[in-house]
Amino acid sequence: MQKLLFSLFLLLIVFSNNLFAQSQEPRLITIDEAISIALENNYTLKQAQNDLELADDLIFSEKADFLPSVSASMNGSRTSGQQFLFDRFSEGLDPFVNVTSQSISGSMRANIPLFNGFNNILTLKSSQSNKESREQQYQRAKELVIFNTASRYLQVLLDKELLEIAKQNLETSTTQLSQVQAQVELGARPMVDLFNQEAQVANDELTLTQRENTLALNSLLLIRQLEIDPLGQYDFEVPELELNDLPWMDVNLKALVDEALTTRSDILSAEASIAALKYQLQINKNSLLPSINASAGVSSRYSDQYSIAGEDVGFSDQFFDQQVNRSLGLSFNVPIFNNWNRLYSIQSSQIQVKNAELNLDNSRMQVIQEVTQAYNDYSSYVKQLEASEKSLLASEKAFETQQERYNVGASTLIELTQAQASFVSARSSYTQSLYNLIFQEKLLDFYLGKLKGDSIF
């Protein structure tokens, strides 16, 4: 009996959880919210942010190199063994006796480079350039996250629109099937029309299923892009998409290319990296110059064997007065021969600078190609949208006409089916052309380095 009650209790819990899950409303996410979520959760951006913090710490460390380096030490020792005592020797006694002595010594020393080929200044500038490069890389990574999120979101919106078209088309086919069935029963239409229409409904049901699967798959990819719980319930808001003006149609292509070359974050990052490498090259060249360093120090010690005129001297008098030593130093070092290691470092830095400049030139050519191709595709998509809009209006009128003619017996089912297929195809083509054009606008923004995520639509 207890096992039965326990089983019923578990079933009640499972049923309650399922009922709660079914009644829970899906979370509605807008395009702006999706971008904010992606920017907050993306692990690549988090890693880039950590690199920026590390670059700040490095700059602080480089600034601290202008200060002197200070070190302090304290030593204590206890020794036992025979020692030669002159006083016992002068008295005619055995001068070698076993003595246990204790001593304490301490020192503090400061060093500061007066001249090291301006390496501290160059190293600081190199670190600042590296930080600027990382900042631009972080900005480009943000733009990439925004672009990928917007692209995934647009694809989901397109799938939802195509799914709605498939639903309406299936509804129209089902209505026509009812009409054909009634006409066949009255003997006004042949039985073959009924079979053809049933086949059409089955094909439309298959299309609907395929659209649903495509929407589910692309929604899952968008959820993965947002890095949120894949088991959650989500719905994505369809914003109002209007193309009142076409911002890129009257813009000169050369102006777009020049803008991209001056504003793209990846180009700016590459330029900053080259600047950092040039500073490093200068540092390696300056390693052939002499260096000048200054130092200052103070030290003291105490020993229990220390005495003056046979009288022991206390710790305070020894350590803080009588055995205190102070020093000032100046060193001048000239590099003469280091197995050509410095020369190799210079040559290596020169090669790194040349390779970085070659990569920058290649990146600029890539930018020119991307912007040119995106602009040409944009112009093509504008024409496609205009053509698909005309086709949609014409096919809609043709379908309405064939529907009226079929209802009065002036047209065949095949003609009506063809008109319906053309109308559905035109609606799908128009929707795809619209979203392709919007996507191409975002692609141009991305290639120009202007995709900031403040307002996607």
Collect all residues with Cβ–Cβ distance below 8 Å to 228 and sequence separation of at least 6: 37, 41, 234
In 3D space, the residue among 235, 237, 238, 226 whose CA is nearest the CA of residue 26 turns out to be 235
The fold for domain 24-67+115-290+338-448 equals: Outer membrane efflux proteins (OEP) (1.20.1600)
User: How many beta carbons lie within 10 A of that of residue 196, not counting itself?
Assistant: 18
Q: So where are the chain's domains?
A: 24-67+115-290+338-448
Residue with tokens 């090291």: 116
Query: Residue 332 forms beta bridges with which residues?
Result: 292
pLDDT at 248: 59
Half-sphere exposure of 364 toward its Cβ, with a 13 Å CA cutoff? 13
pLDDT at 145: 92
Longest Cα–Cα distance in the chain: 152
Distance CA 440, CA 455 (A): 16
Collect all residues with Cβ–Cβ distance below 8 Å to 363 and sequence separation of at least 6: 266, 267, 270
| Tens-digit pLDDT profile for residues 5-61 | 444 444 444 444 444 444 468 888 988 899 999 999 999 999 989 999 999 999 999
Phi and psi for 245 in degrees, rounded to 5? -135, 160
pLDDT at 247: 62
DSSP 187-228: TSS-HHHHHHHHHHHHHHHHHHHHHHHHHHHHHHHHHHHHT-
- Whats the size of the chain, residue-wise? 457
Confidence of residue 127 (pLDDT cuts 50, 70, 90): very high
Whether 250 has a pLDDT exceeding 80, the answer reads no
| Average pLDDT of the segment spanning 319-338 | 88
SS3 234: strand
| Tens-digit pLDDT profile for residues 61-110 | 998 888 899 999 999 888 877 776 666 666 667 677 777 778 899 999 99
Query: Residue 33 forms beta bridges with which residues?
Result: none
Query: Residue 81 forms beta bridges with which residues?
Result: 99
| Tens-digit pLDDT profile for residues 293-316 | 999 999 999 888 777 766 788 888
Collect all residues with Cβ–Cβ distance below 8 Å to 278 and sequence separation of at least 6: 353
Q: Compute and round to an integer the Cα radius of gyration of the chain.
A: 41
Is the pTM higher than 0.75?
A: yes
Distance CA 312, CA 36 (A): 78
Distance CA 411, CA 402 (A): 7
Residues 153, 31 contacting (CB under 8 angstroms): yes
SS3 245: coil
| Tens-digit pLDDT profile for residues 146-201 | 999 989 999 999 999 899 999 988 998 898 888 888 888 888 788 888 888 899 89
Token pair for residue 51? 């690199």
In 3D space, the residue among 47, 27, 37 whose CA is nearest the CA of residue 227 turns out to be 37
In 3D space, the residue among 183, 136, 239, 238 whose CA is nearest the CA of residue 412 turns out to be 183
Token pair for residue 273? 């990296």
DSSP letter assigned to residue 321: I
SS3 308: strand
| Average pLDDT of the segment spanning 282-300 | 91
In 3D space, the residue among 75, 449, 456 whose CA is nearest the CA of residue 265 turns out to be 449
Roughly what angle, to the nearest 10 degrees, separates helices 119-186 and 191-226? Answer: 160
